[in-house]
Chain A
Amino acid sequence: MSTQKITLAKGLNMGLRKAMEDDPKVLVMGEDVGKLGGVFRITDGLQKDFGEDRVIDSPLAESGIVGTAVGMALRGYRPVVEIQFDGFVYPAYDQIVCQVAKMHYRSKGRSKMPMVIRIPFGGGIGAVEHHSESPEAQFAHTPGLKVVACSNPVDGYWMIQQAIASDDPVIFLEPKRQYHADKAELDESATPEPLFRSRTVRQGTDVTVLAYGPTVKTALQAAEAASGEGKSLEVIDLRTLSPLDMGPVLDSVRRTGRVVVTHEAHVNLGMGSELASRIQEECFYSLEAPVLRVGGFDTPYPASRIEEDFLPDLDRVLDAVDRTLAY
């Protein structure tokens, strides 16, 4: 068994490479994904090894990228497109929600859309505006799409391969501030768990904290800090946002009776709203307190010098934990 320590960026890169080796129909397309290897280097080295026909530098037009990927998928390819930054997915919004999401449905299952749309998302990197958005709810709201968010290097490696293997279109969210942050041990011979499953990443008894993407780390830090104060937090990495995998969530809530949801996206109609709704529908009598949401405020993403005040952090999560415990 050989293992190696990798970053999220490396995990995604290795996963893409493996998927391309395994299936000649897998194509990568996006802005600067070729020689440069993408602005975050996720596709580093792929064009050199797989050629310009399979790792395609596209013209600078997002609707064009996704729209042509639709055509390639109809021809039998499995395109993996990279949207350079979250804030630039909107020019492709029509193609994603009207075309990609509906093709299988309107064709009565005759036209599959095995496409992955990779989006680096979230803030915390001191970027200029439009580079720190969290648009996941807009896609999770759309039937026909599946939406997942990875949070760590090992998931990055497996989840990207699983998303590519899926016959349904997958919006694949990558927490950009984690790309080159923490390393983790990857065992390529391991058997990954299924893509559309949430995972309990820390067990606890007092409060359930739900997180995904960049806030998983925040939630784990909060749990660590809380344990010093004798509070036991259970942390669930949702991983899949559409469909939601509510099993582990409901199971946890039935034990703790208290929930805090945290994400970087604006709270209004964010994933937390849907989670709160599902939780109260399914385990109303187990709840000891209202489900609390800790997210980005309902403002546009602010200037980066104050982004840490906008983003949920350890203290705001702990504050919500205290409020739910005091209820």
Chain B
Amino acid sequence: MTHQSEFGPDLAEVFGPSQQDGGPELVQLLTPEGERREHPEFAFDLDDEAIKGFYRDMVLTRRIDTEATALQRHGELGIWAQLLGQEAAQIGAGRALRPQDYVFPTYREHGVAYCRGVDPLNLLGLFRGVDHGAWNPNDNNFGLYTIVIGAQTLHATGYAMGIQRDGAVGTGDPDRDAAVIAHFGDGASSQGDVNEAFIFAASYNAPVVFFCQNNQWAISEPIERQTRIPLYQRALGFGFPGVRVDGNDVLATYAVTKAALQRARDGQGPTFVEAYTYRMGAHTTTDDPTRYRLSDDVEHWKLKDPIARVKAYLTRNGLADDAFFGAVEDEANELGHHLREGCKALPDPKPMDMFAHVYAEEPEELRIQREGFAAYLETFEESHA
């Protein structure tokens, strides 16, 4: 797309060939071919065993996604938000977290949820229509999915302000200092809430990492509709650093997110991480991307598959053998089975459940409404008896 103007930026420069693969600023530590790269600022500081762990994480995450997609096709889920192609961004970010850190996800953070120890089965309830989120946010420091685009970035910032007030920033105690990560998409970057979150976080120097998965699409709208500069460059205008990392490179995403989280824990304030990636699937199972994008683009990104490059690295360097890959595959099959069987067994809520937890202290008028409905339902039971 070219759009020259005397005053505005040249879009060909921002989105053209020079930026197509993330541009020169992209932090990459593992190439699509599976070769390690050095970066002057960010280093991957774990061993090859950890990389094998990441491989396993990504395969399992992809399996969560494909199983859930299949479950939707079989009518077991109403809808599913697919993450195909975004496994590295999510595992890299998720594995960089410490237990005391807190995650505010969108609706697509299945890989991060998995890293936090949330049973993937618990992710399905929302999409099946049996609850609005089955996990206890306090168990895993993993908030409920947020559907209203961008709203959670403010919650993350406020939570981070709470951490500051608890004196859990910059003490140097690795078990005490905590950070928050706010997940959101490229489309969300246009939301007022996200921009307000940047402003609050900067103003109070809050320990929060804004982790944007730029998967190039907000349903049918391409990134060019949301921004006229590379997203990570926006951070500077808000007064904190922005980094663009190869979101299909789990090593780089891990390294960059880890550094950003540590900055936050150390009391150095927010960081914006733009994980440059691609939504290989549809927006959700109800979307039809053939209406708005070229299959050529998808083919181009297939070559950058986040899992394939780690597999290439492990294989080429003789770090993993068939037994390893087979074992991961077995585990994925087991997970698939767990999800299929578990999903079908998820009980529907009872009609009366809709009245539960509206308030911490239920008002009398709601109690009367609830009891009235219960009595009404009972009249049916009697007539059936």
- A109 close to B154 (CB less than 8 A): no
B203 within 8 A of A: yes
Which one, B138, B151, B359, contacts A104 given CB within 8 A? B359
B8 within 8 A of A: no
Known: A67-B196, A244-B365. A106 touches B133 (CB 8 A): yes
A312 vs B125: C-alpha distance in the bound complex, in angstroms?
A: 50
Instruction: With a 10 A CB-CB cut-off, give which of A59, A64, A91 has the most chain B CB atoms.
Output: A64
Task: Name the segment of B32-40, B161-169, B329-337 touching the other chain.
Answer: B161-169
Size of the chain B interface, CB-CB below 8 angstroms: 43
- Residues from chain B with a CB closer than 8 A to the CB of A95 are 151, 154, 193
Task: Name the segment of A74-82, A151-159, A318-326 touching the other chain.
Answer: A74-82
- B162 close to A108 (CB less than 8 A): no
**Nearest chain A residue, comparing its CB with the CB of B148:** A98
**Nearest chain B residue, comparing its CB with the CB of A66:** B154
A110 within 8 A of B: yes
Which one, B137, B162, B361, contacts A72 given CB within 8 A? B162
**Nearest chain B residue, comparing its CB with the CB of A245:** B364
Known: A77-B165, A112-B360. A59 touches B203 (CB 8 A): yes
- Residues from chain A with a CB closer than 8 A to the CB of B157 are 64, 67-68, 71
Which one, A58, A77, A168, A244, contacts B360 given CB within 8 A? A168
**Nearest chain A residue, comparing its CB with the CB of B104:** A71
Size of the chain A interface, CB-CB below 8 angstroms: 48
**Nearest chain A residue, comparing its CB with the CB of B145:** A106
B314 within 8 A of A: no
- A71 close to B156 (CB less than 8 A): yes
- A243 close to B363 (CB less than 8 A): yes
A34 vs B203: C-alpha distance in the bound complex, in angstroms?
A: 15
B144 within 8 A of A: yes
Known: A71-B157, A71-B162, A74-B143. A166 touches B361 (CB 8 A): yes
Q: How far is the CB of A60 from chain B (nearest CB, A)?
A: 9
B366 within 8 A of A: yes
**Nearest chain B residue, comparing its CB with the CB of A60:** B199
B46 within 8 A of A: no
- A107 close to B137 (CB less than 8 A): yes
B342 within 8 A of A: no
Q: How far is the CB of A56 from chain B (nearest CB, A)?
A: 8
A73 vs B363: C-alpha distance in the bound complex, in angstroms?
A: 21
B345 within 8 A of A: no
- Residues from chain A with a CB closer than 8 A to the CB of B153 are 67
B1 within 8 A of A: no
**Nearest chain B residue, comparing its CB with the CB of A114:** B360
Q: Which A89-147 residues sit within 8 Å CB-CB of chain B? A: 91, 94-95, 98-99, 102, 104-112, 114, 143-144, 146
Which one, B132, B162, B180, B193, contacts A106 given CB within 8 A? B132
A8 within 8 A of B: no
Which one, B133, B151, B160, B166, contacts A99 given CB within 8 A? B151
A310 within 8 A of B: no
**Nearest chain A residue, comparing its CB with the CB of B354:** A105
**Nearest chain A residue, comparing its CB with the CB of B363:** A243
A67 vs B364: C-alpha distance in the bound complex, in angstroms?
A: 29
- A106 close to B144 (CB less than 8 A): yes
A95 vs B192: C-alpha distance in the bound complex, in angstroms?
A: 12
Q: Which B113-144 residues sit within 8 Å CB-CB of chain A? A: 131-133, 136-138, 143-144
- A108 close to B357 (CB less than 8 A): yes
Which one, A66, A94, A166, A246, contacts B365 given CB within 8 A? A246
B197 within 8 A of A: yes
A63 vs B364: C-alpha distance in the bound complex, in angstroms?
A: 31
Q: How far is the CB of B270 from chain A (nearest CB, A)?
A: 13
Q: How far is the CB of B149 from chain A (nearest CB, A)?
A: 10
Known: A72-B161, A75-B166, A76-B162. A94 touches B148 (CB 8 A): yes
A292 within 8 A of B: no
**Nearest chain A residue, comparing its CB with the CB of B134:** A108
B200 within 8 A of A: yes
- B137 close to A111 (CB less than 8 A): yes
Which one, A110, A168, A243, A246, contacts B137 given CB within 8 A? A110
A144 vs B359: C-alpha distance in the bound complex, in angstroms?
A: 6
Besides A63-B154, A71-B104, A243-B364, 4 more A-B contacts (Cβ < 8 Å) are A27-B165, A58-B200, A67-B154, A243-B365
**Can you give 9 contacting A-B residue pairs, CB < 8 Å?**
A59-B199, A61-B196, A64-B199, A67-B193, A70-B158, A77-B162, A77-B165, A166-B361, A168-B360
B contact set with A: CB distance below 8 Å: 104, 131-133, 136-138, 143-144, 148, 151, 153-166, 180, 192-193, 196-197, 199-200, 203, 356-361, 363-366
5 tightest A-B contacts by CB? A71-B158, A67-B154, A75-B162, A68-B158, A243-B363
